[in-house]
Amino acid sequence: MAFGRTLIAALAAAPLIACFPAPTGGFESSDVISHGKIVVFDSKVESAVYVPEVVVWDEKNEVTTSTQTVLHLPLSMASDYAAGNMISSSEPTVTTTMTSFSTQTVTVPAPTHSASTSYLPSSSANSTELFGVSYAPYRADHGCKTQEDVNDDVEQMAGKYSVIRVYGTDCDQVPMMYKAAKKTGMKLFLGIWEPSAVQDEANKIIAGVNGDWDMVHTVSVGNELVNSGQASPRDIVAAVQSARSILRAAGYQGPVVTVDTFMAVQAHPELCDASDYCAMNAHPFFDSTTTASHAGRWLINTIARVKTALSNSKRIVITETGWPTEGLANGLAVPGLANQKMALDSIQKAFTTTPGDIILFSAFNDLWKVKAASTFNADQFWGINGAVAKCDS
């Protein structure tokens, strides 16, 4: 249930429009600023900027004070956003003048929380295939998940996704994932994490699936290693060729690829040339000019740009994409459950005929990860619908 709130802000600014939209659902719904985020349109700024400010919330008879990160946008964007790009048309927008360290008050709607903020994966009318999803076998305490933990997690994914992507062979994850996925009919996108250990990790994959190669969708070598500078394109190409040779000798005839960011792939198309299809990670959240509702269009445009760099018309699969539910805002890309739903709905709409070309990131919050300012303190919170694994609950 949403209550009206009174906002008392202490800040130095020119005339502002203050707004706090309530979440709405659906493909075409407007972008929503997550709980605790306030938007103002400010005549003194020319681009999006975040400023920490002291805010007093007056909700009914309870007054609380907190420091909030306020998003300042140029006045030139106000009309576009009011038309539906950010502000819900069903909620009032209040205009006020806030002078230096004044205590003007503005009544704004509190965010609503309802089932509409949950993303529900579904197959399209033109395809029975579902998106894939990424998964890591680590507990919040950094220990390895048990077979029981993995079984619980995979059961929650059953019926929602076609493929589960994992990244390596540690924690005995290949045989555990094989046993759990076999019961559900989902296939596995397996990974060789360390290119310098191709033989060892390939052997673990071979042993883990025990000849049941129909369960394996793809085997990848490395993840974003060229982008991070940990490996050269030449080293990765050699590792992919080595892995393919080892796996073919063991009876696997499916795709072998390397995965890197779309920037690395665009700069080094030989990564795609060496792969059986072009596999790349692409996150609209890391583009500060992209709002949640434009995530699908951003992916379509990104794929189109990468295709211009490739020497052939090889298939492109997005092996990671999603939207965080918590963390710091990145310009117009704002974390939040409602924003995540809008982003994933947008992606689902954009790839309605080719869901097999998308692997969402990720099945659960990765609470074992460390927050980092460089990734907007969001690394732990990419789980779809904010899901937390049973063993971490």
- The confidence score (pLDDT) of residue 98 equals 40
**Active site includes 53?**
no
Percent of the chain residues past pLDDT 70, beyond the cut: 71
Q: 263-289: per-residue pLDDT in tens?
A: 999 999 999 999 999 999 999 999 999
- The confidence score (pLDDT) of residue 43 equals 74
Domains of the chain with bracketed CATH: 4-109 (no CATH), 117-392 (3.20.20.80)
pLDDT reading at 63 higher than 60: no
CB neighbours of 32 closer than 8 A, spacing ≥ 6?
Answer: 21, 22, 23, 24, 86, 88, 111, 292, 334, 336, 338, 339, 342
CB neighbours of 248 closer than 8 A, spacing ≥ 6?
Answer: none
pLDDT reading at 87 higher than 90: no
Strand partners, 94: 18
pLDDT reading at 248 higher than 80: yes
Asked if residues 43 and 14 have their Cβ atoms less than 8 Å apart, the reply is yes
Omega prior to 362 cis, within 30 of 0: yes
CA–CA separation, 360 and 161 (whole Å): 9
CA–CA separation, 61 and 158 (whole Å): 46
CB neighbours of 198 closer than 8 A, spacing ≥ 6?
Answer: 192, 221, 239, 242, 243, 246
How would you label 107-139 residue by residue, b for 16+ Cβ within 10 Å and e otherwise? ebbebbeeeebbbebeeeeeeebbbbbbbbbbb
Q: Specify the 3-state DSSP secondary structure of 43.
A: coil
Q: 152-190: per-residue pLDDT in tens?
A: 999 999 999 999 999 999 999 999 999 999 999 999 999
Q: Specify the 3-state DSSP secondary structure of 223.
A: strand
- The confidence score (pLDDT) of residue 69 equals 61
How would you label 349-365 residue by residue, b for 16+ Cβ within 10 Å and e otherwise? ebbeeebbbbbbbbbbb
Q: What is the mean pLDDT of residues 346-354?
A: 97
Write down the pTM of the prediction: 0.73
Dihedral sign for Cα atoms in the order 230, 234, 239, 244:
positive
- Under the phi-then-psi rule, with left for phi > 0, alpha for psi from -120 to 50, and beta for the rest, what region is 386? left
Q: 111-127: per-residue pLDDT in tens?
A: 444 446 777 776 554 44
Q: 14-29: per-residue pLDDT in tens?
A: 344 344 333 333 333 3
- The confidence score (pLDDT) of residue 35 equals 39
- The confidence score (pLDDT) of residue 107 equals 40
Asked if residues 342 and 303 have their Cβ atoms less than 8 Å apart, the reply is no
- The confidence score (pLDDT) of residue 359 equals 99
- Under the phi-then-psi rule, with left for phi > 0, alpha for psi from -120 to 50, and beta for the rest, what region is 69? beta
User: CB count, 10 Å around CB of 2?
Assistant: 13
Q: What is the mean pLDDT of residues 70-95?
A: 50
Q: What is the mean pLDDT of residues 92-98?
A: 37
How would you label 4-26 residue by residue, b for 16+ Cβ within 10 Å and e otherwise? ebebbbebebeebbbbbbbbbbe
Q: pLDDT band for position 128 (50/70/90)?
A: low
Q: Which of 9-13, 85-89, 111-115, 248-252 has the highest mean pLDDT?
A: 248-252
DSSP per position, 255-308: -EEEEEEHHHHHH-THHHHTSSSEEEE--GGGSTT--GGGHHHHHHHHHHHHHT
Q: Which two tokens stand for residue 370?
A: 């460390």
pLDDT reading at 393 higher than 60: yes
Strand partners, 82: none
The catalytically annotated residue of 53, 194, 201, 320 is 320
- The confidence score (pLDDT) of residue 73 equals 74
Query: Which of 246, 270, 245 shows the shortest CA–CA distance to 258?
Result: 270
Mean pLDDT taken over the chain: 82
Asked if residues 22 and 109 have their Cβ atoms less than 8 Å apart, the reply is yes
Residue ranges with strand state E in the chain:
4-10, 16-19, 38-42, 49-59, 62-74, 94-96, 105-109, 132-134, 163-165, 187-192, 216-223, 256-261, 278-281, 316-321, 358-360
Asked if residues 344 and 322 have their Cβ atoms less than 8 Å apart, the reply is yes
Q: 212-244: per-residue pLDDT in tens?
A: 999 999 999 999 999 999 999 999 999 999 999
